[in-house]
């Protein structure tokens, strides 16, 4: 008897699952879920609203029609300037999802493969954002320091070396 193997040793990307979870969290708490999207030729959005290869989209149920948060793409219809448009965003082009009301959410790495300069109608070509950049106006939730059980000392974040960083998780007690 053979054991079924996953197609990839690392498994599927966690990004679509995290997007769905944070979308649900926003909806359950009465917040408006927004996504910041890195735009290149594989993204179908109204290009007149793209600035610096980025667009921020409201993906709340009130602002969308036929929202599908799939493993490969986010698809929906939305109105821009009163005109209904089909929107298709590859999941790996979502660089952040957050609640409009308080900025809490999660940022993801900017795609590097196939990232290119996009020419916006009526504007100049803009270079892609630097990898790891957080979209302008996005405020990520901070981790509060807590008093330790031993002696009342506070946990201080570890100093980070200069240069590009890989995302990491910190265990909070």
Asked whether residue 156 is domain-assigned, the answer is: no
**Residue 111 has what pLDDT?**
85
Q: What is the mean pLDDT of each run of 10 residues along the chain (173 residues)?
A: 55 90 96 96 94 95 95 95 94 95 93 51 41 46 42 48 56 62
**Does some domain include residue 106?**
yes
* Residue-level pLDDT at 45: 96
pTM exceeds cut of 0.75: no
Phi, psi angle pair for 28, to nearest 5°: -60, -30
Q: Which helix (H) or strand (E) holds 15?
A: helix 15-28
Count structural domains, the chain: 1
Q: Is residue 8 part of a domain?
A: no
Domain containing residue 93: CATH number: 2.30.30.220
pLDDT of 19 reads 96
Distance CA 36, CA 160 (A): 26
What is the model's pLDDT at position 12? 79
pLDDT confidence of residue 169: 60
């Amino acid at each position: 008897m053979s054991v079924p193997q996953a197609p990839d040793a690392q498994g599927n990307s966690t990004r679509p699952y995290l997007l769905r979870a944070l979308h649900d969290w926003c909806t359950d708490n009465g917040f408006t879920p927004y996504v910041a999207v890195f735009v290149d030729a594989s993204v179908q959005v109204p290009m007149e609203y793209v600035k610096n290869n980025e667009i921020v989209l409201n993906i709340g149920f009130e602002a969308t029609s036929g929202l599908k948060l799939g493993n490969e793409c986010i698809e929906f219809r939305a109105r821009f300037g009163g005109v209904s448009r089909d929107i298709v965003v590859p999941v790996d082009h979502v660089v952040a999802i957050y609640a409009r009301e308080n900025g809490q959410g999660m940022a993801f790495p900017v795609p590097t493969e196939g990232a290119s300069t996009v020419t916006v109608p009526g504007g100049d070509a803009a270079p892609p954002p630097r990898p790891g950049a957080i979209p302008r106006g996005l405020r990520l939730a901070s981790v509060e320091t807590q008093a330790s059980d031993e002696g009342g000392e506070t946990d201080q974040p570890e100093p980070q070396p200069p240069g590009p960083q890989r995302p990491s998780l910190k265990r909070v007690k």
